[in-house]
Amino acid sequence: MRLRGIIAAVALVLPLLAQPALAKDDLVIGVAQFPASLNPYYDSLTIKSYVLGFGIRPVTAFDKDWKLSCLLCAELPTLDNGLAKLDGKGMAVTLKIKPELTWGDGVPVTAKDVVFTWKLGRDPTSGFANSHPWDRAGSIDVIDDKTVVLHLDKVRVDYNQWDTLLPAHVEGPAFEKAGNFAEYQKQTVFSRAPTTAGLYNGPFVMTAYQSGQQVVFEPNPNWKGPRPGLRRIILKLIENTAALQANLLSGDVDMVAGEGVGLTIDQVIALRKANPDKFEYIFKPSLTFEHIDLKIENPFLAEVKVRRALLAAIDRQTLVDRLFEGMQPVADTWVNRLDPYASKDLARFPYDPNLARAMLAEAGYKPGADGICRNAAGEKLSLEINTTAGNKLRELTQAVLQSMWKASCIEVTIKNEPARTLFGETLKKRQYSGMIMYAWSSGVGDSPRSTLGSDKIPTAANNWGGNNGIAFSDARMDQLIEQSETELDTTKQKAIWAEMQKIYAEKVLVLPLFFRADPHVVPKWLDGYTPTGHGDLSVLFSENWKSK
């Protein structure tokens, strides 16, 4: 009897042992930053776009092939299909919301949401920061629950590119209670109750939120698109990138995305050398522009010769060769050389320490006994540079640049802050004193208005909206930006973009460093992961992620 019992027990266990391991359906993603706020229209930060991208979709987005596609709309408006029409001096653009689309609480996404978002976004005091602002439309007609016609007051190149919708049934009461935009930033449900299902219209909804620690997303039960292949996505903050790497190796983190929110490229290169078979490593060329903003109100930086000396004093090619094995190309302007509008005739500013010292001499600076330049009043040429604390690569880059500048008699001191403070206050309100190093993650063909238009300088009057942190104000640049947004002829567009890049390079209000090759460390069991290399991040297509 005992023998038969053992045989029976073994017979029951063997099928279980023979079964393949269950597919992993939880994905833990390590991030080195955490958003200061979650409302999609305040604080235009890559980390916020990354977090929200799992649960919120823009109306349209560029895919991995850099092709514009509908995410919320049923059909992409074009002049060819008649959903976009020239209308006098402007355009009429018809947006048809997908009929099956709902918010995470089951409430349909309708024209009411478009109208609500448009009304808030067109108010000049809103403080909204987005690439494709709703104020492009002077008026809006509601055709039915799922269809609106946006009337643009002029012809626009980006007429069919539209950003995120706000849920009128959730955010509407919050805005009414607030009474003004300054108070709305505090009352928005995205801040007060971010796990409210009605905030989300994508494949996932946020189910847990611990400020400064982690965010959890789970499948949206009301999502009618492709069923998500993962049961849970956890975004875990590990602010120090060295600690983030350790967590990845230990298995506490499954993945680190390379879209400006995770490990630095030097760490991933080293990781691949030490563990070539542990993960899938992807180095995706991108439009992300690493640079240093200069504060022109600083008396030292008001002089263009000093700004040019700062640029001539740094050997950017050696920097990228030694830190990134040459994988990240040196930048000359904000326009990537892979972009069709990149100027071929742009003046380059290579490393030239002799030129740097000559420019400083022309500006009235002479080296003191300590090797640091001083002006005629005896003031030491000393500047402060800020960046994200704990980001190993940026801190290393700072140290290299500091040494190079010192060799050209420029003293630079380092003052770094956590990402939430740096981006939430210091950059947003232009509180830095000299230089601030960070990155822009732009979309395909994005207008430079948000970062270079004089109407996008953050001030208290506009609720610190806009991303023109250098306070760049140039009448000719404003004219060119306007033309670039309205000219449909490609040849004329190239000439417009060439002149914009020339002005940008000559003014030197920004020190261009390099364009990133985004390093992604992906678990080998994950399928469907497709980095895009531009501002419409991979998370916008996360419903396609699944276990192999």
Q: Which residue has the higher pLDDT, 369 or 43?
A: 369
Which pLDDT belongs to residue 415? Answer: 95
Give kind and range of the element (H or E) at residue 529: none
**Per-residue model confidence as pLDDT tens digits over 461-517:** 888 887 888 999 999 999 999 999 999 888 999 999 999 999 999 999 999 999 989
pLDDT surpasses 80 at 413: yes
Q: In terms of Cα–Cα distance, which of 330, 258, 260, 287 is closest to 511?
A: 330
Residue that has been written with the tokens 């080296």 in this structure: 367
Q: How far is CA 505 from CA 97, 338, 439, 483, 491, in A?
A: 42, 18, 17, 19, 22
The domains located in the chain, with CATH, are 57-182 (3.90.76.10), 288-516 (3.10.105.10)
Q: What percent of the chain has pLDDT over 90?
A: 74
CB burial readout 144-161, b (16+ within 10 A) else e: eebbbbbbbeebbebbbb
> Within 13 A of 129's CA, how many CA atoms are on the CB side?
29
The predicted pLDDT at position 100 comes to: 95
Residue 22: what pLDDT?
41
Report whether pLDDT(151) > 90. yes
C-alpha count within 13 angstroms, C-beta hemisphere, residue 149: 13
Model confidence over 270-310: pLDDT tens digits?
Answer: 999 999 999 999 998 888 899 999 999 999 999 999 999 99
Q: What is the pLDDT of residue 45?
A: 82
Nearest one of 436, 181, 78, 490 to 290, comparing CA atoms: 436
Instruction: Enumerate long-range contacts of 173-181, CB under 8 Å, 24 or more apart.
Output: 175/120, 180/125, 181/123, 181/125, 181/126, 181/127, 181/463
Residue 485: partners with Cβ closer than 8 Å, 6 or more residues away: 156, 157, 158, 447, 449
In this prediction, residue 23 carries a pLDDT of 56
**284 in Cβ contact with 327 (< 8 Å):** no
Identify the residue whose tokens are 């040429």. Answer: 381
Q: What does the mean pLDDT of the chain come to?
A: 91
Question: Does residue 79 register a pLDDT over 80?
Answer: yes
Whether 234 contacts 27, CB under 8 Å: yes
What's the rounded Cα separation, in Å, for the pair 337 and 339?
5
Note the pLDDT tens digit of each residue in 415-463.
999 988 998 889 888 999 999 999 887 778 888 998 999 999 988 888 8
pLDDT-derived band at 351, boundaries 50, 70, 90 = very high
Average pLDDT on 150-156 reads 94
Write out pLDDT tens, residues 188-240: 999 999 999 999 999 999 999 999 999 999 999 999 999 999 999 999 999 88
Question: In DSSP terms, which residues pair with 522 in a beta bridge?
Answer: 280
4-8, 81-85, 541-545, range with the lowest pLDDT: 4-8
365-388 pLDDT, tens digit per residue, is 999 999 999 999 999 999 999 999
Query: Is 165 a residue whose pLDDT tops 90?
Result: yes
Token digits for 270? Answer: 């080293």
- pLDDT above 80 for 324: yes
Q: Which of 158, 170, 69, 56 is nearest to 113 (CA)?
A: 170
Whether 80 has a pLDDT exceeding 70, the answer reads yes
Predicted local distance difference test score (pLDDT) of residue 442: 76
Query: How many C-beta neighbours within 10 Å does residue 120 have?
Result: 19
Q: How far apart are CA 131 and CA 133, in angstroms?
A: 6
What is the Cα–Cα distance from 424 to 418, expressed in whole angstroms? Answer: 10
Residue 160 reports pLDDT greater than 70: yes
Return the pLDDT at 241.
Answer: 83
Q: Which of 38, 33, 56 is nearest to 191 (CA)?
A: 38
pLDDT of residue 17: 33
Question: What is the pLDDT, as a whole number, of residue 441?
Answer: 74
